Chain A
């Protein structure tokens, strides 16, 4: 079946612009996660949804970052007033069950470059 998809795959934004990154999880997956991966580093947790409920947003680096999953499927990560330090690959992952102890299936990521 189809895996996790993300769009766009690449995004270039001028400093100060707002961006929206989309994630389509595997159909029926309950849990959805966002991660930020800087070059040469492991992914870092941003936020976690179980269905439409955002249960953990402790990893969001500032109030410029906002995520939603209004109908419990597609999710959008929005970054307002982008800064150069926001340049990274943003990964989305989904998991078939609620809770965080299960394997996560990752999308290809969106590479964001802020100029």
Chain B
């Protein structure tokens, strides 16, 4: 089965805290792609990162970082020093034939 699980439905933090959003995936494919998208209250999904299955290097982009571990089928997303503008629903997605989204994690950052 091809599946993405985001076990955290909602997370609430106070500004400047670090927060990690978990993503676990299942696929039988040896070649696949993983993505993270942000969906702010306006509703438009915003692309954050794409990672292919052969590239396990972690990536950092400003306050955002991603940890891809094939051994545990996880692709976790960390926001450092969170800000109120980070409040949104975050989706992890797996491309294996079609793009399969997790249920999303709603992040609320309070001032």
Contacts and interface: CB of A to CB of B under 8 A. Distances in A.
The size bracket of the interface on A is: 20 to 34
Contacts of B76: none
Secondary structure type dominating chain A contacts: loop
A91 B44 CA distance: 9
B29 to A, nearest CB: 11
Secondary structure type dominating chain B contacts: strand
A42 B101 contact: yes
Interface residues of B, number: 23
Interface of A: 33, 35, 40-45, 48, 56, 58-59, 89, 91, 93, 100-109
A56 B98 CA distance: 9
A44 to B, nearest CB: 7
B94 to A, nearest CB: 11
Across the A-B interface, give the 8 residue pairs with the lowest CB-CB distance, nearest first.
A42-B101, A106-B45, A45-B98, A108-B44, A101-B33, A103-B47, A103-B50, A43-B101
